[in-house]
């Protein structure tokens, strides 16, 4: 009996990785699968290319990265169409994704010199005879391992910053979206034809594991928390530093003085965009008792209007066929334990589609509240007040983003969320703000992409001191005399002893 191919599941045929549309099963990409030796060779080539790239300096890299940004902007329809075909997301969602990525390439290119370039820092009084100099140098080769849910935004969130910092990058795209990953490196090679500065290796998880063990100087991983643990374990063997952008279960808090229409609009988009397959997607809402019923009504009214289907619908197919069972299990578990579906429900699951589902009064210890669902579903639970909402939001080991709707206390509540990011009176907006760092806490990972922290993440601080005068209080020499030491003791008491 031959196995039936489920549309969307990647297959390997004659040494090629074949990706297919989760909506139609049509072939989307066919790329050679890399062996561990191929990965090693790609990293070797990248190392030489990286030296050339680093030698271009901030100005040379900026000019080339801005040319790539222009190309991405000019060909936005082309790449959005490929993202739609290969991953299934609506073209409009793909356009928004590419816009955000373009923004990050632009900011990283323009700001790398200011953030990372050589600068003098202040000397301290006890070492006043030395000047102090700081610069951030590239690692060399950065391995980027990506997921399928944002196949442009996530690799670029690491790669653009790594490249701007002067590194070469070897990308291992998700096996669900290899053609998108290849498109990114091919277009980069159009504007930087001289050297293989940004290249891709393709395959399943073992190719990602080979990249971790290939001698790259840093690994930037984006994907599930379970794989993040394996990546960190593999990198531990060679003390290769890692950046981990892992899963989430982000909460929205709706306080008593929230604008409920705005909150419902942002909630529906934050939870259901890309069919809910968003690491920073809203998966749980805690609404305070006085506004709970009105808020739920507004969410259901808006979510109920969304269209579901293959082309130009609001909600496309579930990209990874195996995820459909996870979504089904979460809905069934919530309902069997006393939760109620006020929209959708058990029969909303019609592979490869899942219709929007809103669950209320779901037990806090159910899978739908505690585990990443990654589907167009949402739980809304009532809480006494914002304190209870914060306690529940913070009760999970995940801590990626979050959202707060309210007026008087919203910013204070956002600060109290145990997460790397939060948006007040909007959802997900921090992801597109290239001036802000992006990353999580706990099971959501560590390290930061985007913004100044994102540039520093892909570089090593290099500290240099330089003598500018003779030492008046010589201490770091065997030539010092007892009188020098006595003077040092006196000086330190005068400076710090009060």
Q: How far is CA 269 from the centre of its chain?
A: 19
Distance, CA of 253 to CA of 313 (rounded, Å): 28
Give CB contacts under 8 A, 24+ apart, made by 229-232.
Answer: 231/145
DSSP 74-117: HTHHHHHHHHHHHH---HHHHHHHHHHHHHHHHHHHHHHHHHHS
Shortest Å distance, C-beta 217 to ligand NAD: 16
Shortest Å distance, C-beta 318 to ligand NAD: 12
Distance, CA of 459 to CA of 138 (rounded, Å): 4
The residue (of 33 and 288) whose beta carbon lies closer to ligand NAD is 33
Cβ contact 362:339 at 8 Å: yes
The residue (of 140 and 223) whose beta carbon lies closer to ligand NAD is 223
Q: Which part of the chain contacts ligand NAD (CB under 6 A), choosing from 83-91, 147-155, 337-345, 459-467? A: 147-155
With binding defined as CB under 6 A, does residue 222 bind ligand NAD? yes
With binding defined as CB under 6 A, does residue 89 bind ligand NAD? no
The residue (of 75 and 328) whose beta carbon lies closer to ligand NAD is 328
If you ran DSSP here, which 8-state letter would residue 346 be given? Answer: G
With binding defined as CB under 6 A, does residue 146 bind ligand NAD? yes
With binding defined as CB under 6 A, does residue 175 bind ligand NAD? yes
With binding defined as CB under 6 A, does residue 172 bind ligand NAD? yes
Q: Which of residues 192-221 bind ligand NAD (CB under 6 A)?
A: 204-205, 208-209, 212
With binding defined as CB under 6 A, does residue 398 bind ligand NAD? no
Residue 217 to residues 60, 87, 133, 329, 458: CA-CA distances in angstroms? 23, 30, 24, 40, 10
- How deeply is 4 buried, as exposed, middle or buried, from its count of CB atoms within 10 A (0-12, 13-18, 19+)? exposed
The residue (of 69 and 172) whose beta carbon lies closer to ligand NAD is 172
Q: Which part of the chain contacts ligand NAD (CB under 6 A), choosing from 52-60, 169-177, 250-258, 386-394? A: 169-177
With binding defined as CB under 6 A, does residue 245 bind ligand NAD? yes
Residue labelled with tokens 């500290």: 463
**Does 245 qualify as catalytic in the annotation?**
yes
CA–CA–CA angle 201, 155, 57 (5° rounding): 90
With binding defined as CB under 6 A, does residue 451 bind ligand NAD? no
If you ran DSSP here, which 8-state letter would residue 449 be given? Answer: B
Which residue from 16, 45, 67, 230 is in contact with ligand NAD, where contact means CB under 6 A?
Answer: 230
- The stretches of 253-349 forming alpha helices (DSSP H) are 260-272, 289-304, 323-336
Counted residue by residue, the chain has a size of 498
Distance, CA of 169 to CA of 217 (rounded, Å): 10
Which residue from 58, 107, 139, 148 is in contact with ligand NAD, where contact means CB under 6 A?
Answer: 148
164: helix, coil or strand?
Answer: helix
CA–CA–CA angle 435, 247, 406 (5° rounding): 60
The residue (of 279 and 303) whose beta carbon lies closer to ligand NAD is 279
With binding defined as CB under 6 A, does residue 231 bind ligand NAD? yes
With binding defined as CB under 6 A, does residue 154 bind ligand NAD? yes
Q: Which part of the chain contacts ligand NAD (CB under 6 A), choosing from 140-148, 388-396, 451-459, 482-490? A: 140-148
Shortest Å distance, C-beta 228 to ligand NAD: 7
**Does 265 qualify as catalytic in the annotation?**
no
Cβ contact 282:252 at 8 Å: yes
Pick the catalytic residue from 97, 245, 452, 457. 245
7, two tokens: 């549309």
Distance, CA of 167 to CA of 16 (rounded, Å): 28
With binding defined as CB under 6 A, does residue 401 bind ligand NAD? no
Shortest Å distance, C-beta 333 to ligand NAD: 19
Active-site annotation, residues:
245, 279
Could you list the residues that contact ligand NAD (CB under 6 A)? 145-150, 154, 172, 174-175, 204-205, 208-209, 212, 222-224, 227, 230-231, 245-248, 279, 372, 400, 440, 444-445
């Amino acid at each position: 009996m031959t196995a039936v191919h489920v549309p969307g599941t990647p297959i390997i045929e004659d040494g090629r990785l074949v990706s297919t549309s989760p909506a139609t099963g049509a072939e989307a990409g066919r790329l050679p699968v890399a062996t561990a030796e191929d990965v090693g060779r790609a990293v070797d080539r990248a190392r030489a290319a990286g030296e050339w790239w680093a030698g271009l300096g901030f100005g040379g890299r900026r000019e080339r990265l801005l040319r790539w940004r222009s190309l991405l902007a000019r060909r936005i329809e082309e790449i959005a169409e490929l993202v739609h075909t290969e991953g299934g997301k609506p073209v409009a969602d793909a356009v928004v994704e590419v816009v955000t990525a373009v923004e990050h390439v632009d900011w990283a290119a323009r700001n790398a010199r200011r953030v990372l370039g050589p600068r003098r820092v202040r000397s301290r009084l006890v070492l006043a005879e030395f000047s102090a100099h700081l610069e951030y140098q590239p690692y060399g080769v950065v391995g980027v391992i990506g997921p399928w849910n944002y196949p442009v935004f996530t690799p670029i969130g690491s790669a653009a910053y790594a490249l701007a910092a002067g590194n070469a990058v070897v990308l291992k795209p998700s096996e669900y979206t290899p053609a998108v990953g290849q498109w990114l490196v091919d277009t980069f090679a159009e504007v930087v034809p001289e050297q293989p500065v940004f290249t891709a290796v393709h395959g399943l998880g073992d190719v990602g594991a080979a990249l971790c063990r290939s001698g790259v100087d840093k690994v930037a991983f984006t994907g599930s928390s379970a794989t993040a643990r394996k990546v960190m374990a593999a990198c531990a063997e060679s003390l290769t530093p890692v950046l981990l952008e892992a899963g989430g279960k982000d909460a929205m808090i709706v306080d008593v003085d929230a604008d409920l229409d705005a909150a419902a609009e942002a909630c529906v988009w934050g939870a259901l965009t890309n069919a809910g397959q968003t690491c920073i997607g809203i998966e749980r809402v805690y609404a305070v008792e006085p506004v709970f019923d009105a808020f739920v009504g507004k969410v259901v009214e808006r979510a109920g209007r969304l269209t579901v289907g293959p082309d130009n619908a609001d909600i496309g197919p579930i990209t990874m066929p195996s995820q459909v069972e996870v979504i089904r299990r979460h809905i069934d578990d919530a309902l069997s334990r006393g939760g109620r579906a006020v929209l959708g429900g058990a029969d909303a699951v019609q592979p490869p589609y899942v219709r929007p589902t809103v669950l209320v009064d779901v037990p806090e210890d159910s899978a739908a509240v505690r585990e990443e669902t990654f589907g167009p579903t949402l739980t809304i639970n009532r809480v006494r007040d914002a304190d209870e909402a914060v306690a529940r939001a913070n009760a999970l080991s995940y801590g990626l983003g979050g959202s707060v709707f309210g007026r008087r206390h919203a910013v204070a509540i956002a600060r109290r969320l145990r997460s790397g990011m939060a948006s007040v009176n909007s959802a997900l907006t921090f992801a597109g703000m290239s001036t802000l760092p992006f990353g999580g806490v706990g099971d959501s990972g560590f390290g930061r992409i985007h913004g100044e922290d994102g540039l520093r993440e892909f570089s090593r601080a290099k500290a240099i001191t330089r003598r500018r005068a003779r030492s008046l209080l010589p201490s770091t020499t065997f030539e010092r005399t007892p009188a020098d030491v006595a003077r040092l003791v006196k000086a330190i008491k005068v400076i710090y002893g009060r």
